[in-house]
């Protein structure tokens, strides 16, 4: 059975705190009538700090789309290899044993995809399948896990490397002062994550993937979107987005029910931390304690919304907590533009007697 192994996650060295975010927002957007509401919404996110790839002074300037995309290329090539090496080590596989690489990012554009560069520079085989995903936003982390699962089922024994590179700070638009844009300026952070899905299981402990599904909320494709302009990607967020868990919770319940599981009685949850209301509402509509999303809350507090990398950081925290028994049941869910939900169900897998003794 395909197994999601422990992810590796890295955040950049530059840090911006909540206090600094509020100060910069007042300085850059001072006098705008919507600023007081935006500041209140930013405070309510619960984000204490975020990590960004450039000092804040450079981030606040806009050198143009060409220069920003150049920075994206430089930074992604600088930061991805180390995280990938860690993920390969976590899965106890080598680069030569990878059969497909899924690269997800919505914050920069490269053609060919970074997958080609990684194959050439990290010792992957030249027949490695390339699966770049660029337009699913925050849902892409869940989608990557699901497509890796699908690939391993279609090609038994294969290993799939997933890489998420989200440099959200490179999408900052200083001239945008709508509520959605201002909120995103205080919510999103930068991160790189990687994980391996092993087609034959094994590899110590991990999440054995059993079932996956996707769901699109009808007629919501303009609720989360990019306006692509001369200055790059302009994030657009509809005020109805925070309420999307009400229609999605029944979908998650039915998804689990089809697998003879109860979505409100699982042992672990790895959920995209889009914002505090998303997590609070999901707890309410699934009738679970908000503490079950503690790993997502921790990611949101310490890193902000790191887009497709959230599910991998939440999963990393789950692995490091290390208190699950074999066959514990769980849910992975990512939400993003569409409005799209990518969902997976899996069990905590432990291979050898030595691993069981470690957990005892």
Contact partners, residue 238, CB within 8 Å, separation at least 6: 180, 222, 223, 224
Burial 84-106 (b: 16+ CB within 10 A, else e): bebbbebbebebebbbbbbbbbb
| Catalytic member of 5, 138, 165, 168 | 138
Contact 291/353 with Cβ under 8 angstroms?
no
Contact 245/281 with Cβ under 8 angstroms?
yes
Contact partners, residue 66, CB within 8 Å, separation at least 6: none
283/280 Cα distance (integer angstroms): 5
Specify whether 138 is catalytic.
yes
Nearest to 171, CA basis, from 105, 103, 232, 109: 232
Among left, alpha and beta (phi > 0; psi -120 to 50; other), residue 221 is alpha
322/317 Cα distance (integer angstroms): 9
Sign of the C-alpha dihedral, residues 91, 92, 94, 100?
A: negative
- What amino acid positions are annotated as catalytic residues? 138
């Amino acid at each position: 059975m395909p197994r999601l192994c422990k992810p590796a996650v890295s955040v950049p060295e530059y840090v911006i705190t909540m206090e600094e975010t509020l100060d910069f927002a007042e300085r850059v957007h001072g006098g705008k009538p919507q600023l007081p509401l935006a500041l209140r919404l930013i405070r309510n996110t619960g984000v204490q700090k975020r990590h960004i790839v450039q000092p804040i002074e450079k981030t606040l300037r806009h050198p143009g789309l060409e220069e920003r995309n150049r920075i994206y290329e430089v930074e992604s090539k600088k930061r991805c290899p180390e995280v990938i090496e860690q993920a390969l080590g976590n899965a106890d596989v080598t680069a030569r044993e990878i059969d497909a690489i899924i690269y997800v990012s919505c914050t920069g554009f490269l053609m060919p995809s970074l997958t080609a560069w990684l194959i050439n520079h990290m010792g992957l085989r030249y027949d490695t399948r390339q699966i770049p995903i660029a337009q699913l936003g925050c849902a892409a982390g869940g989608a990557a896990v699901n497509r890796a699962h699908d690939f391993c089922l279609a090609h038994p024994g294969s290993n799939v490397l997933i890489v998420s590179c989200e440099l959200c700070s490179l999408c900052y638009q200083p001239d945008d002062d709508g509520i959605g844009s201002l909120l995103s300026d205080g919510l999103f952070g930068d991160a790189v994550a990687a994980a391996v899905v092993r087609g034959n299981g094994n590899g110590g402990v991990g999440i054995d993937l059993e079932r996956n599904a996707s769901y699109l909320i009808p007629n919501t494709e303009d609720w989360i979107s990019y306006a692509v302009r001369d200055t790059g990607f302009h994030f657009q967020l509809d005020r109805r987005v925070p309420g999307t868990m009400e229609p999605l919770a029944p979908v998650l319940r039915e998804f689990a029910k089809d697998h003879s599981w109860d979505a409100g009685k699982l042992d672990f949850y790895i959920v995209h931390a889009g914002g505090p209301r998303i997590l609070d509402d999901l707890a309410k509509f699934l009738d679970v304690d908000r503490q079950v999303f503690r790993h997502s809350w921790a990611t949101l507090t310490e890193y902000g919304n790191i887009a497709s990398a959230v599910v991998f950081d939440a999963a990393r925290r789950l692995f490091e907590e290390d208190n699950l028994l074999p066959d514990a049941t769980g849910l992975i869910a990512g939400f993003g533009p569409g409005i799209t939900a990518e969902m997976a169900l899996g069990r905590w897998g432990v291979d050898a007697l030595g691993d069981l003794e470690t957990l005892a």
